[in-house]
Amino acid sequence: MKNTTETIHYDDRIVRYFLMATLLWGGIAFSAGLLVALQLAYWKFNFNLEWLTFGRLRPLHTNAAIFAFAGNAIFAGIYHSTQRLLKTRMASDALSKIHFWGWQLIIIGAAITLPLGYSQSKEYAELEWPLDLAITAIWVVFAVNFFWTIARRRERHLYVALWFYIATIITVAVLHIVNSIEIPVAAFNSYPVWGGIQDALVQWWYGHNAVAFFLTTPFLGLMYYYLPKAANRPIFSYRLSIIHFWALVFIYIWAGPHHLLYTALPDWAQTLGMVFSIMLWAPSWGGMINGLLTLRGAWHLLRTEPVIKFMVAALTFYGMATFEGPLLSIKSVSALGHYTDWIIAHVHGGALGWNGFLTFAMVYYLVPRLWKTPLYSKKLADAHFWVGLLGILLYYTSMVAAGFTQGAMWMAMDKGQLVYPDFVETVVRIVPLYAVRAVGGMLFITGFLIMIYNLYKTIKGAPAPQDEAVVVPARVEQHHAGEGHRRLEGMATVFSILTFLAILVGSAIEIYPTLSIHRYVKPTTKVDPYTPLELAGRDIYIREGCYTCHSQMIRKLDFDVVRYGKPSTAAESMYDRPFQWGSRRIGPDLARVGGKYPDLWHLRHMVDPRSVTPKSIMPTYGWLTQKNTDFLGLRRRVSVLKSLGVPYSDEQVSEADRLAEQQAKTIADGLVTQGAPAGLEKKEMVALIAYLQALGKKGGSDE
């Protein structure tokens, strides 16, 4: 008689690798976060080193938290649960290893290039083109391995966790590729093909859905596996899984424009972004209630099991964040909250509470099982929970308070005049809250360190880990069983294609119309491109991450207009590659800063901001008066922009370096007559001043 069962081994080694990487990068991401938090409380925490300034370190923090910490956590969970849900070992150990090491190398590449200032300035997509290519390649390796494993499954139907993994893999690929279409201009520099409102729309379509498909759908998948396993309870409702999965995948992709309310983005796109964000509320909560109601009859575990504790808190934070998101997407709420720390509070409620705590739950679940040893101390895990929770609450409340305070101060007007015309007043007021936030972050890290100690003690006493062996059916007939959605769950390819179509609809409808920017810019409108020197200055602005604190987008709101001037138009930024609208105002908007101050003011301000604005928290940028501008690289840069449709003359391309040197000489001579030292004409400072003085001066404001 033929054997109907066989014994196989799951690849748990790769899970342990990803788990260790999660913990290592988690520590680094959190520490980088604490450092930037301290820099806002007291600017000298950048130690006057260019590599540690806020503008360069903030992208490192966000990328490390999202792609290194959460990324490795997702991979650990997916590799662990997928094998078990499909009753098969991962299809290729080699691909698993390439995925693991490739991803870690990308992270190391990011940790080196971002502090050096190699950045595209597109949030959560700052990494430059060589790393973008590497991410694409590794993601394809992951996808091949995953879908190949699905094809070899010994389970007829795909469980809901796998639906979410499929949506993640497909959508992240689409988002990353479309947002990263760029033309290299140097070894670690590039210009995106998207410009102005296109770039803004594509970037926030990406940015918002990085939250959706990197920080939400994969974690929902993990929740759907680890919560019922840890609580030993059946999932509350299969039909709720179906409804909220498809609703979430279809609706989420539309919501990106809520990051751009009242900007120069066309009204119709903003309206779509807002209404789809509101419709997203219930589908998001679908995941939360399916999780929480699964615990019916198991609530006593909340008292004894740290895993359940962390999961319940994570789901609660998820519920809070997915209520707050739609709320912030309402235009009039956004008018108050946009550019303020309320947004920072919102993302950290999600990142620390939902992603962080769910990851910790998973780690506490996995380590004892992977190392076949009980957890060293449940008490310490408990302590981790409470200290971490306190940290998150402190973080969240202080940043909401800071956001409301600053937002209200910006809006405050009396008899048509701003009550707080001096921007720095609105910063000084919230600096104490930055200190409270840093304490919150420290508590969160303290909890994390307690966990590291606990895991170290657990693993130290464990036997050498082995791959888990299981007896599985030798063969499963893959005929399509069931009806309706049940039948679809047996058809992995069709399921994946439908998921792809679901995210394609909203993407196409929102992005397609902006591909022809002339729909939104009158053909008669004349906007001058940046001169070669201004362009050089712009690239320095991007390198230093100025966009992390300064917006260049005056919203169509009275208090913005009274403070900064006419609202920004689509025409004004149409040649901006990448766009620099920004997302946070720790300093004032710069869209119309050109001509507002003399060149000497800018020089003194960048060498020592406090010499002109006594209470400023901006870093000093002394090295800009030491470093030479890369004049020779300008020809290539100008010519790439010309090929993308920016109206440069042939002379501006072939003579880019000479024209730039000429303009730099004029500015430097002017600075000398105003009392500055001589010899600045070759320095980056002059290029940056040229750029700042050009902002808002290139035409196109009368649309």
Partner 1 sequence: MSDQEFDPMTDHEYDGIRELDNRLPEWWLALFGITIIFGFIYWLHYEFGGGHTQVQELNLAMGVIQSVKGSGPSFSEDQLNALFTAETVGKGHEIFTAKCAACHAAEGGGLIGPNLTDKFWLHGKGTSADIFEVIAKGVPEKGMPPWAEQMTEEELVATAAFVHSLKDRNVPGGKPPQGEEAP
Interhelix angle 492-511/129-151, nearest 10 degrees: 150
Q: DSSP E strands: which ranges in 562-636?
A: none
Other beta carbons less than 10 A from residue 369's beta carbon:
13
Interface with partner 1, residue 613, by CB under 8 A: yes
270 neighbors 329 (Cβ within 8 angstroms): no
Residue 195 structure tokens: 């410009």
Shortest distance in whole angstroms from residue 282 CB to partner 1 = 4
Stretch that binds partner 1, among 396-404, 418-426, 427-435, 509-517 (CB under 8 A): 418-426
Residue 133 or 293 with smaller CB distance to partner 1 = 293
Query: Which position among 98, 111, 243, 411 is part of the footprint of partner 1 (CB under 8 A)?
Result: 243
Q: Of these, 303, 415, 479, 518, which contacts partner 1 (CB under 8 A)?
A: 415
Taking CB under 8 A as the criterion, which residues in 448-487 touch partner 1?
482
Interface stretch with partner 1, choices 98-106, 283-291, 526-534, 637-645 (CB under 8 A): 283-291
Binding residue count for partner 1, defined by CB under 8 A: 66
Identify which of residues 480 and 556 has a Cβ nearer to partner 1 in the complex: 556
Residue 237 vs 373, nearer CB to partner 1: 237
Task: Establish if 364 lies at the interface with partner 1 (CB under 8 A).
Answer: no
Of the candidates 5, 44, 152, 234, which one interacts with partner 1 according to CB under 8 A? 234
155 binds partner 1 (CB under 8 A): yes
| Dist. CA 442–CA 310, nearest whole Å | 19
CA distances from 278 to 73, 159, 220, 274, 376 (A): 29, 28, 20, 6, 44
From 267, 477, 483, 650, residue interacting with partner 1 (rule: CB under 8 A): 267
Q: Kindly identify the residues of this chain, within the stretch 536-575, that bind partner 1 according to CB under 8 A.
A: 556-558, 561-562, 567
Q: Work out whether the CA dihedral 601, 604, 606, 608 comes out positive or negative.
A: negative
Could you say which of 176, 485, 604, 658 contacts partner 1 (CB under 8 A)?
604
Cβ proximity to partner 1: between 578 and 588 the closer is 588
Which of positions 74-133 make contact with partner 1 (CB under 8 A)?
81, 84-85, 87
Which stretch, 55-63, 340-348, 372-380, 609-617, contacts partner 1 (CB under 8 A)?
609-617
Q: Which stretch binds partner 1 (CB under 8 A): 33-41, 458-466, 589-597, 642-650?
A: 589-597
Phi-psi region of 47 (alpha: psi -120 to 50; beta: other; left: phi over 0): left
Distances (CA, A) of 131 to 105, 165, 369, 521, 627: 10, 23, 35, 34, 26
Please, which residue, 41 or 327, has the CB nearer to partner 1?
Answer: 327
Largest CA distance in the chain: 99
In the list 30, 262, 318, 564, the residue contacting partner 1 (rule: CB under 8 A) is 262
3-state SS string over 548-580?
A: HCCCCCCCCCHHHHHHHCCCCCCCCCCCCCCCC
Which listed residue (42, 101, 148, 268) binds partner 1 by CB under 8 A? 268
Residue 701: partners with Cβ closer than 8 Å, 6 or more residues away: 566, 568, 569, 571, 572
Local structure of 414: helix, strand or coil: strand
Out of 228, 403, 529, 582, the residue judged to bind partner 1 by CB under 8 A:
228
Q: Are 574 and 680 in contact (CB under 8 A)?
A: no
The nearer residue to partner 1, 48 or 674, going by C-beta atoms, is 674
Q: What angle do CA 498, 68, 322 make, to 5 degrees?
A: 55
Nearer to partner 1, 241 or 573 (CB): 241
Question: Which of 191, 257, 267, 258 has the alpha carbon at shortest distance from 579?
Answer: 191
Closer to partner 1 by Cβ: residue 147 or 601: 601
Do the Cβ atoms of 604 and 498 come closer than 8 Å? no
Does 627 help bind partner 1 (rule: CB under 8 A)? Answer: no
Q: Does 293 bind partner 1 (CB under 8 A)?
A: yes
- How many whole angstroms separate alpha carbon 189 and alpha carbon 637? 10
Residues 295-334: x/- map of binding to partner 1 (CB under 8 A)?
-------------------------------x--------
What is the phi-psi region of residue 531: left when phi exceeds 0, alpha when psi lies from -120 to 50, beta otherwise?
Answer: beta
For partner 1, the binding residues (CB under 8 A) are 81, 84-85, 87, 155, 157, 159, 225, 228-229, 234-241, 243, 247, 262, 267-268, 270-272, 274-276, 278-279, 281-283, 285-286, 289, 293, 326, 413, 415-418, 421-422, 482, 556-558, 561-562, 567, 595-598, 600-601, 604, 611-614, 674-675
